[in-house]
Structure 1
């Protein structure tokens, strides 16, 4: 894994050198006290997209982006990497190549938020003062919250996880080496990136085992902390029927708390029976880690709710206490699934509201309706394209039933959405499919 990471980083650095038109200031070249019109904290999907929208509007170096990583990953591709359909390198670009050229990149991370002072302090000790701030720090993966999981991921080739570039390559190797027995897939007792992802890998695994003639000696179990297989009834019904057809056991309200790789055991707590646990043997274990807002955000009580997420108005993503602060994506407390599609849906609304606040104008009427999408990959050539709003009501783009498995939606997921992400969303152009939904539904769609 270390050698692969070095190869990816080397490739990304070469790509960075090829982007001749871009001249980012390194942290060492910056003053210790930096001032900007707009501070964007985080260089993920939301941070890149919004920085791109405002960098050209405000002028060179008026937007500052704080992001410590060299590599930007298209994380929705990790499901396909785990199934052997893509490689980790396919999902990677150098951070320098995706950040807008007119923005100033501070290659560092925020160590402290001080919203009352309109400033942040970086890990290297710099102070950045802002007029406006967009928080886009994503989610933190807490593998350490499951006892023994990090050790198992390091030592047991049968334990894998699609959620980190550090571990995603283990998944397909585990599938190839699997000889039969219990294969367990988990969903933790926290919000996660893309609520469908923990079971997508399971459906891919099930089809893979059928293809290689090992399905008859395999026992596939989905152990989820949730009370339902999926939060939207229409798609939950389709997924339950799919599990029934494929012989997949679904165990609700079970939460992974311990992995004992020496004895091939996974320990789950019964969430509806406090103190009671069940220990299951595994021959393959795909673990979805507990997740949370990053510690640096959650420890700033001025900015967050009781759960540690950025406390924003769910219709315009403006902070409830600080009108010059907005949030986007997974780190916010908006009650919708945490996906790249949700970020796209939020971009247009934030752009209008943030621009109005910057100009001292009344807030526009544009509202975020909670739109998100989860392409539920169900194998090597099929997908259920779930799209829905805050109320859990389907908000489908196409004029056909998206609750059915289709090759066409799988093709979109595998071949079209990555290009839309790299060339549309990160450049600030893609704000979700709302306009296409209206067209395809003859103006009657939401």
Structure 2
């Protein structure tokens, strides 16, 4: 039987962005009545899946029960949101129940659109076709890397937006490093087929990455978009400016096209892109002042990474509480995103940048120069960042992530 309930604050999404925002708000105002709408029983540290695919992490360390990461005092609604009625301050769930709110925070993430590549879904996890973008497939990536001794390995990247734009390359570099150590790289033809026109969107990091492209003898194919896969025949079809090309493969690491969740895209909250239509600095909805959006579902033109959500959560926490108090926003988000590019086992190019591709290093360059492959950056990703995620970000501890000052715009 559909029911109705109401809460002061309703958050749609129990991923990194939703949980971190709830925790940050409760740190500031412990008496808040917050509900999180999230159907999943499991919470995943998705940046760890690259490391699983590279044989560095065991998959189990990247997941925890959702019940363990829900902030204390939050009402967890174990259901999926189906639609928004912002004129009535209401969210409708898939079972027809309604949740009313004073303030809404929209953070349902991004949808992996596997179905947009013909033949892909039926061959994932077999025939040499894998993806680190899924928990259950990342171990298969590592299995394929260990087994491959000769042949062709193709790594793909679809058009933007995608979460963690560096992840398609990370999988490739870690695979190549393993093959190099095993002495088989010379017998493997490696291709990076990227739908975009550049290797990486921020030019300052490209020289360091190109060193590894050359070191591993990777065939760089830009403007090449995967449109179909024939798993049993091990053939992949790419759309290029010159027309369609079909390539044989022995291993195919696929990154799926990514879109806004349908229930969001169909709602009054969506921008033309399908993502929640917010001001890129205050993260407040451009039409509904009591609605905020962040994380991968936001319309902001930043890199969609967990590091971005870590910086956005305190901004939303401050501005949302001010909205509840009938005041204007004072905190601003500067577009910060981070992409630790694993170029070999033990070294990382730590890309950190904001809006407009502006470099935004967290550390002095004498300690970590993000434009070069460094061992300290690897230690940060392998050891420090997972710990900071579980024990800092999800607990409302804003280490290196306090809310910025209001940005003039």
Normalising by structure 2, report the TM-score: 0.95
Q: Provide the aligned length of Structure 1 versus Structure 2.
A: 401
Structure 2 partner of 1:242: 212
1:376-415 to 2 correspondences below 5 Å: 376-400=341-365, 401-415=369-383
Structure-2 change in CA distance of 1:433 and 1:129 (3 Å): closer
Contact kept in structure 2, 1:36 and 1:61, CA below 8 Å: no
1:214 aligns with 2:184: yes
Q: Deviation digits for residues 63-120 of structure 1, max 9, x if unmatched?
A: 0100000110000000000011111110011100101120100000101111111101
Question: Are 1:278 and 2:245 an aligned pair?
Answer: yes
Structure ranking higher in strand proportion: 2
Who is 1:86 aligned against? 57
Deviation, structure 1 residue 261: 1.4
- In 1, are the aligned partners of 2:11 and 2:35 still within 8 Å (CA)? yes
What residue number does 1:420 align with? 388
1:118 aligned partner: 89
Shift of 1:394: 1.0
SS in 2 for 1:357: helix
Greater RCO (Cα-Cα under 8 Å, separation 6 or more): 2
Contact 1:397 1:434 in 2 (8 A): no
Query: Is 1:133 aligned to 2:107, yes or no?
Result: no
Residue 60 of structure 1, CA deviation: 6.1
Contact 1:54/1:63 (8 A) holds in 2: no
Residues 346 and 431 in structure 1, CA contact (< 8 A), matched pair in contact too: no
Quickly say closer, same or farther: Cα 1:51–1:433, change in 2 above 3 A. closer
Structure 1 residue runs without a partner (length 5+): 1-27, 436-446
Contact 1:78 1:162 in 2 (8 A): yes
Task: Trace 1:173-192 onto structure 2 (pairs within 5 A).
Answer: 173-192=143-162
Contact 1:79 1:200 (C-alpha < 8 Å) held by counterparts: yes
Q: Does 1:39 align with 2:10?
A: yes
Helix, strand or coil for the counterpart of 1:133? strand
Indicate conservation of the 8 Å contact 1:383/1:406, yes or no.
yes
Q: Do the aligned residues in 2 keep the contact of 1:255 with 1:269 (CA within 8 Å)?
A: yes
3-state SS in 2 of match to 1:315: coil
Relative to 1, partners in 2 of residues 1:245 and 1:59: Cα closer, same or farther, differing over 3 Å?
Answer: closer
Q: Is structure 2 residue 196 aligned with structure 1 residue 226?
A: yes
Partner of 2:327: 361
Contact 2:6-2:100 at 8 Å conserved across structures:
yes
State the TM-score, normalized to the length of structure 1: 0.87
Question: Which residue, 223, 230, 255 being the options, matches 1:253?
Answer: 223
Give the alignment's Cα RMSD to 1 decimal. 1.7
Deviation at 1:190, TM superposition (A): 3.3
Name structure 2 gaps, 5 residues minimum: 404-409
Deviates more, 1:104-113 or 1:31-40: 31-40
**Residue equivalent to 1:429:** 397
Q: CA deviation at 1:242?
A: 2.1
1:143-199 CA distances to partner (integer Å, 9 max, x unpaired)? 11101111111442x111000113222110111111211100000123111000000
Closer, same or farther in 2 for the Cα pair 1:434/1:206, shift >3 Å?
A: farther
Name the CA distance, whole Å, in 2 between partners of 1:385 and 1:324. 36
1:72 is matched with 43
Q: Aligned match of 1:342 in 291, 308, 326?
A: 308
The equivalent residue for 1:267 is 237
Structure 2 CA distance for partners of 1:103 and 1:60, relative to 1, 3 Å? farther
Comparing 223-232 with 391-400, greater Cα deviation is found at 391-400
Cα distance in 1, alignment partners of residues 371 and 49 from structure 2: 23
Counterparts of 1:387 and 1:287, CA distance in 2: 25
SS in 2 for 1:165: coil
> 3-state SS of the aligned residue for 1:183?
strand
CA contact (8 A) 1:36 1:62 kept: yes
More helix by share: 1
Q: Contact (CA 8 Å) 1:397, 1:433: kept in 2 or not?
A: no
Give the direction of change, closer, same or farther, for the CA distance of 1:108–1:184 in structure 2 (3 Å limit): same
Separation in 2 of the partners of 1:217 and 1:190?
32
C-alpha distance in structure 2 between counterparts of 1:250 and 1:115, whole Å: 46
Deviation of residue 55 (structure 1)?
3.7
SS in 1 for 2:371: coil
The worse-fitting range, judged by mean Cα deviation, of 394-403 and 107-116 is 394-403
Report what 2:116 is aligned to. 145
Q: In 1, distance between residues paired with 2:195 and 2:399?
A: 32
Q: Which residue of 2 aligns with 1:163?
A: 133
